[in-house]
Amino acid sequence: MQRRTFLRSSALASSLLLVPTLLHALDAGPGLARLRDARGRRLIVVQLGGGNDGLNTIIPYKNELYYQARPTLGIKESAGILALDKDLGFNPAMRGLKGLYDQGQVAVLNSVGYPNPDRSHFRSMDIWQTGSAAEQTWSTGWLGRYLDSACADCPHPYNALELDDTLSLALKGQTRKGLALKDPAKLHRLTQSRAGAAAHLADHAHEHHAAQVDYLYQTLAETTSSAQYLYDKTRIYQSATAYPAGEFGKSLKTTAELINSGVESRVYYLALAGFDTHVRQQEQQGRLLGQLSDGLAALAADLAQSGEWANTLVLVFSEFGRRVGQNASHGTDHGTANNVLLLGGSLRRQGILNAAPDLANLDQGDLRHQVDFRGIYATILQDWLGADDAGILGTGFERVRGLV
């Protein structure tokens, strides 16, 4: 029996393959106390998959070079651009985020990237998720290493949760990993049949796969208590806030319910895909940015109502931006530097934090990065989560001073 076939034989495999091993009991321990040193603060990461076009997200609507590069794709002020500061404006679909911006709850960093950028979706996403340099290949993620550092003896497997079926590299550490789940109720139902599933696996595996059977059986058993805990917690609080329809809105709602129910996770990781807009970009990107904007506005309102928004920081990023010039298909191709959004109820610096992208000084048609994304990570790790940013990322990255 092949390992791939062996794993597929379990209905739980897709949910549990990336669940960390050696999960412990749910009683509080020293690891939980160490995480609480960050004063109950949490981080929510939103990954925009596909390479979001930053120039049509934060629009330089007073810059004629923008319209020269995008004669039909450039969004005109008359289309309803939502004016911000420094002659920049949100895409017309981003009214929810504009409301938060006006309340001082959004910060924008322009031209974020890294030296020698890679235009491959997979490679660039790996770089962003690990915090490596372009010439390095790392097997652990920046948030996974945070768990290694700050949560070495945590009793819980859910100190970092990803609202998905599989765990991203970002949440994989050397010794600690996050927990991936789309729906606490679904995970709970799956783990309830653990005994039958494990027996089925054992009965159908050859003897030389016994170690694999033992591993899956133990993982299954260890996950059950966590699934029960999360399921019970989400039954405490049922959100009445209206979120956008679709998977992303559902994930945001689940995140709010977990937070408002008292789950002790310090990191939540979500994704919104579909931003690879080579063709007919306007409609597709507008729809996705509307989901992003309305969803985050709903999340902020939900958490503010329960008093949790002040303890929350949201990071929104994409693996790269798009080319400055439009292509022949009324879309944009893979580019380099991009904007990054930070949201929260306790931002000390708000608005546009640096200069708009320099469209007069391009690198073969691409934006030059002005801010290294690892400096943003270092800021979050040290100033927000109270972690050792140098130990997790290395040194030499300039933090965003006074942000949080």
pLDDT value, residue 362: 98
**Cα 378 from Cα 357, distance rounded (Å):** 22
183-206 burial, b at 16+ Cβ within 10 Å, e below that, comes to bbeebbebbeebeebbeebeeebe
Quick one: pLDDT band at residue 205, thresholds 50, 70, 90? low
Quick one: pLDDT band at residue 155, thresholds 50, 70, 90? low
| Three-state DSSP state, 31 | helix
Quick one: pLDDT band at residue 63, thresholds 50, 70, 90? very high
8 A C-beta contact, residue 260 and residue 239: yes
Task: Report yes or no on 25 lying in a domain.
Answer: yes
Examine the pLDDT at 200 and tell me if it is beyond 80.
no
**Cα 141 from Cα 139, distance rounded (Å):** 7
Q: What is the mean pLDDT of the chain?
A: 87
| Three-state DSSP state, 161 | strand
φ/ψ region of 137 (left if φ > 0, alpha if ψ in -120 to 50, else beta) reads: beta
Examine the pLDDT at 136 and tell me if it is beyond 50.
yes
Least confident stretch, 17-21, 42-46, 196-200: 17-21
Domains held by the chain: number:
1
Examine the pLDDT at 34 and tell me if it is beyond 50.
no
Task: Report yes or no on 31 lying in a domain.
Answer: yes
State the sign of the Cα–Cα–Cα–Cα dihedral 121, 127, 130, 135.
positive
Mean pLDDT, rounded, for 274-288: 97
Examine the pLDDT at 173 and tell me if it is beyond 70.
yes
pLDDT value, residue 215: 55
pLDDT value, residue 190: 80
Residues in a beta bridge with 90:
58, 82
Q: Which CATH number fits the domain that encloses residue 282?
A: 3.40.720.10
Q: Quote the crossing angle between the two packed helices 210-234 and 194-204, to the nearest 10°.
A: 170
pLDDT value, residue 261: 93
Q: What is the pLDDT of residues 223-235, one digit of tens each?
A: 677 788 888 888 8
Examine the pLDDT at 50 and tell me if it is beyond 50.
yes
Least confident stretch, 17-21, 173-177, 218-222, 279-283: 17-21
Task: Report yes or no on 399 lying in a domain.
Answer: no
pLDDT value, residue 198: 53
8 A C-beta contact, residue 50 and residue 273: yes
pLDDT value, residue 14: 40
pLDDT value, residue 284: 98
pLDDT value, residue 153: 79
Angle at 131 between CA 128 and CA 134, to 5 degrees: 75
Mean pLDDT, rounded, for 22-31: 36
Q: Within the chain, what is the greatest distance between any pair of CA atoms?
A: 70
Burial class (CB in 10 A: 0-12, 13-18, 19+), 211: exposed
| C-alpha dist (Å) from residue 344 to 230, 232, 322, 353, 385 | 25, 27, 27, 15, 14
Quick one: pLDDT band at residue 164, thresholds 50, 70, 90? very high
**Cα 96 from Cα 301, distance rounded (Å):** 11
Mean pLDDT, rounded, for 313-337: 98
Element (H, E) at 377: helix 373-379
**Cα 60 from Cα 64, distance rounded (Å):** 9
**Cα 142 from Cα 328, distance rounded (Å):** 38
Mean pLDDT, rounded, for 57-78: 98
Task: Report yes or no on 302 lying in a domain.
Answer: yes
pLDDT value, residue 22: 35
Structural domain span for residue 38: 3-393
Task: Report yes or no on 287 lying in a domain.
Answer: yes
pLDDT value, residue 19: 41
Q: What is the pLDDT of residues 189-198, one digit of tens each?
A: 887 765 445 5
Task: Report yes or no on 398 lying in a domain.
Answer: no
pLDDT value, residue 16: 44
pLDDT value, residue 40: 86
Task: Report yes or no on 278 lying in a domain.
Answer: yes
Mean pLDDT, rounded, for 316-341: 98
Q: What is the pLDDT of residues 68-104, one digit of tens each?
A: 999 999 999 999 999 999 999 999 999 999 999 999 9
